[in-house]
Chains A and B, each alone.
Chain A
Amino acid sequence: MGVRYFIEPKLDKPDLIASWPGICNIGLVATDMLRVQIGAEPLAEIEPWDFFYPKKVVIQGGVLRSLDFPGSTFYYARLKTKDVIVFVGEEQPADGARLYAEGRKAYQIANLVLDVAERFGCRRVYASGAAVALSHHTLPPRVRVAAGSEALNREIRTTYANTLLMSERRGRGDTGSITGLNGLLLGMAKKRGLEAVCLMGEIPDYLSTVPLPYPRASRSVLDVLARILGITVDFGPLEAMAAQVDEIITGIYDKLPPEIRERVDQRKAALQPAAEAITEEDEKWISEHIDELFKKGGGRNERPT
């Protein structure tokens, strides 16, 4: 179990921006889009075999030539304002059918990620993910924030528009959790004395189990990350993806029972204060009918690639 370095660049207190798959891959899509747009170069990779089941074998002439595993890759870039390390985990090292890593493997891989970041002098870690919210898919998603300290929360909340603290959620009190490695990484970063910030793009509760990306929320996260880094990014690719997904979501939404749609629509008029959660029965109905909602969409049932 270890890390393979491709290069050992000298970096000046780089920020680490990390993401693994999660709900609708909101954080992962934002992070990977950032990586592409800043032209980040490969830096290192975590040796995968202790964490992952392989994803592809290549056999040529009867001889096993290669076995590919899900990647856990670090990239780096020197921006005008600061240096950055981007980590993209293709899968969480979950055992069995779970999406999220937990226990020993999660702890080990998070430690390895932080080891690499600290090796290059990193002092601040950003992870990104999703925040399931009582929102509406026609409204621009905001970015929820949870950080390692109140001071850091204040800094992010007051500096960057379209952010709000996780504890500002109505009806949920001051407690919550960030599931999987996108959360664990930050807890472990805090334990090491690093600054830790989680940026979570909002996704409406009724879409959180839909097996699609949610590029509108990824766009919101990328927007905050770009402002943090002081860079300009091209949102065109995410907007094109959002247009495709919007069409599918509209198809799903149109087929919700009227009483669920009515509850959801109340959110548009008066978003959070008067927002009414869909009920457990609503949620059950949606999850039981999700395949059906996709199938009957006519031209809208294709998933974006």
Chain B
Amino acid sequence: MNDRPSPLKFLARPELDNPALIVSWTGDTGGLGGRVTDHLVSVLGGRPFCEIEPVEFWPFDGVAVEKSVIQFPEVRFVAGGRRDLAVFQSPPPALNWYRLLDLILEAAQQVNVREIYAVGAMVSLAAHTSPRQVLATFSSPQIKDTLVGYDLGRGWDFETPPGQRPTLNSFLVWAAQRRNMAAVALWVPVPFYLVSSDDPRARRRVLSFFDERFNLGLDYAQLDAEVADQDARIASIRASSPEADQALKKLESGDTLSQEESQRLAAEIERALSDKSG
């Protein structure tokens, strides 16, 4: 596969000083990763300095259209707001996963990235008001020790259950291990009924970690307003739907819902949130 010209295209050489690279996959669960890095870029500034030609990673047998808007994969690195931070944004590849991950790491090494953070969400069966514990998967015990002072779930055990596959972020951490690079995958719980809309609480949670880690001095007023607004919308749904209220009460008290109850709650909340946001 290495007999072709590299699809890695540097547009500029940004002034970076052993930065951290934050990796996000746009359109992932809850849209979390893309929204987190969008927020960082909009607050901190920066512009694309490197792109990866997408032709090897999607079939290109047509083009996707979402809400009447034509989509085309943008695979890019952004930096410039700070010397210690760069961002990678891309939709998850459909083909040649390892090749893309390896190119990301190659670009990261070219700008002397010291540690990589991959942002991802995991579907949670808890209520949106529940505290969010961020779990971390580390590429090595050394990077795990580096992050000992942060509020991360650091000691968990996991094996992919039969019939499921690992996430792309686990694949990235493994690929980083092969290059002896420090990498961390961050997993933020997103309630199942917010997976197809937005979860500002999850965004706030992961942004506050980056804020603490890199002293970003983020202002949370806008995010807190979004959290409050979503809480108010869901409260309104509860007020008008005893069934939804009952289901959310069960979740808040730690009970589980039946599959049918879960589907009804998710459909109701997704419909209400999408009506009001549309």
| Residue B188 lies at the interface, judged by CB distance under 8 Å to chain A | no
- Of A50, A53, A64, the most chain B CB neighbours within 10 A belong to A64
Q: Is A96 on the interface with B (CB-CB < 8 A)?
A: yes
Task: Confirm or deny: B144 has a beta carbon within 8 angstroms of a beta carbon on chain A.
Answer: yes
Residues in B whose Cβ lies below 8 Å from that of A60: 157
Q: Give Cα A59–Cα B135 distance, bound, in whole angstroms.
A: 12
CB-based contact B160/A62 at 8 Å? no
The reply to whether the CB of B264 lies closer than 8 angstroms to some CB of chain A is no
Q: Is B103 an interface residue (CB 8 A)?
A: no
Is B136 interfacial (CB 8 A cutoff)? yes
One of A1, A56, A63, A64 near B1 (C-beta < 8 A) = A1
Whether A231 is near chain B, meaning CB under 8 Å from some CB there, is no
A residues 48-65 with Cβ under 8 Å of B?
Answer: 49-50, 53-64
Tell whether, in the assembled complex, residue A53 and residue B165 are in contact, meaning their CB atoms are under 8 Å apart.
yes
Contact A64 B170 (CB under 8 A): yes
The residue on A at minimum CB distance from B175 is: A49
Give CA–CA (A60, B137) in the complex, Å. Answer: 9
- Which residues of chain A come closer than 8 Å to B96, judged between CB atoms? 50, 95
Separation of A58 and B170 alpha carbons in the complex (Å): 10
Find out whether the CB atom of B159 lies under 8 angstroms from the CB atom of A57. yes
**A residues lining the B interface (CB < 8 Å):** 1, 49-50, 53-64, 67, 95-96, 108
For B99, the closest partner residue in chain A by CB is: A50
B160 in contact with A55 (CB, 8 Å):
yes
Closest A-chain residue to B154, C-beta based?
A: A62
Residue ID in chain B nearest A104 by CB atoms: B1
* B166: chain A residues within 8 A (beta carbon): 54-57, 67
In-complex Cβ contact of A50 among B98, B154, B173 (8 A): B98
Across the interface, name the chain A residue whose C-beta is closest to B167: A57
B57 nearest CB neighbor, chain A only: A95
Flag whether B158 is at the interface (Cβ < 8 A): yes
- CB-defined contacts of A64 to chain B, threshold 8 Å: 137-139, 170, 173-174, 177
Given A57-B160, A95-B59, verify A62-B98 contact (CB < 8 Å). no
Interface residues in B, total, Cβ within 8 A: 34
For A62, the chain B residues whose CB sits under 8 A away are 135-138, 144, 153-156
Give the chain B neighbours of A50 by CB distance below 8 A: 1, 96, 98-99
Q: A54-B165, A57-B166 are in contact. Are A96 and B159 (CB under 8 A)?
A: no
List residues of chain A with CB within 8 A of the CB of B140. Answer: 63
What's the least CB distance linking A294 to chain B, in Å? 17
Using CB atoms and an 8 Å cutoff, list the residues of chain B in contact with chain A. 1-2, 59, 94-99, 135-141, 144, 153-160, 165-167, 170-171, 173-175, 177
| Cβ A56 vs Cβ B160 within 8 A | yes
Contact of B95 with A96 in the complex, beta carbons under 8 Å? yes
- 18 CB contacts below 8 A, A to B, read A49-B175, A50-B98, A54-B165, A54-B174, A57-B159, A59-B157, A59-B158, A60-B157, A61-B144, A64-B137, A64-B139, A64-B170, A64-B177, A67-B171, A95-B59, A96-B59, A96-B95, A108-B1
A1, A54, A61: the one contacting B171 at CB < 8 Å is A54
Question: How close is A232's CB to chain B, nearest CB, in angstroms?
Answer: 35
What are the residues of chain B within 8 A of A53 when measuring CB–CB? 97, 165, 171
| Chain B residues with CB under 8 A of A96 | 59, 94-95
On chain B, the residues within 8 Å of A95 by CB distance are 59, 94-96
A111 to chain B, nearest CB (A): 12
Q: Pick the contact of B137 from A49, A56, A59 — CB < 8 Å?
A: A59
A55–B166 Cα gap in the complex (Å)?
Answer: 6
User: How far is it, in angstroms, between the C-alpha of A61 and the C-alpha of B156 when the chains are bound?
Assistant: 5
Contact of A58 among B136, B138, B144, B158 (CB under 8 A): B158
A residues within 8 A CB of B167?
Answer: 57
Q: Are A54 and B138 in contact (CB under 8 A)?
A: no
| Least distance between B278 CB and chain A CB atoms (Å) | 30
B98 to chain A, nearest CB (A): 4
Closest Cβ of chain A to B135, distance in Å, is 8
Cα of A173 to Cα of B86 in the assembled complex, Å: 61
Task: Give Cα distance in the complex from A64 to B141, angstroms.
Answer: 9
- Specify the chain B residue showing the minimal Cβ separation from A63: B138
Known: A54-B170, A67-B166, A96-B94. A59 touches B156 (CB 8 A): yes
Picked from A1, A55, A63, A108, the residue with its CB within 8 Å of the CB of B141 is A63
Nearest CB of A to B97, in Å: 6
Name the distance in Å between B142's Cβ and chain A's nearest Cβ.
Answer: 10
Residues in A neighbouring B171, C-beta threshold 8 A: 53-54, 67
Cα–Cα distance between A64 and B182 once the two chains are bound (Å) = 12
Specify the chain A residue showing the minimal Cβ separation from B176: A64
Q: How far is the CA of A57 from the CA of B155 in the complex (A)?
A: 15
Report the nearest A residue to B143, measured CB to CB. A63
Instruction: Count chain A CB atoms within 10 A of each CB in B153, B160, B173 and give the residue with the most.
Output: B160
- Give the distance to chain B from A196, nearest Cβ to Cβ, in Å: 26
Q: Which residues of B contact A57 (CB under 8 A)?
A: 158-160, 166-167, 170, 174
Q: Are A61 and B157 in contact (CB under 8 A)?
A: yes
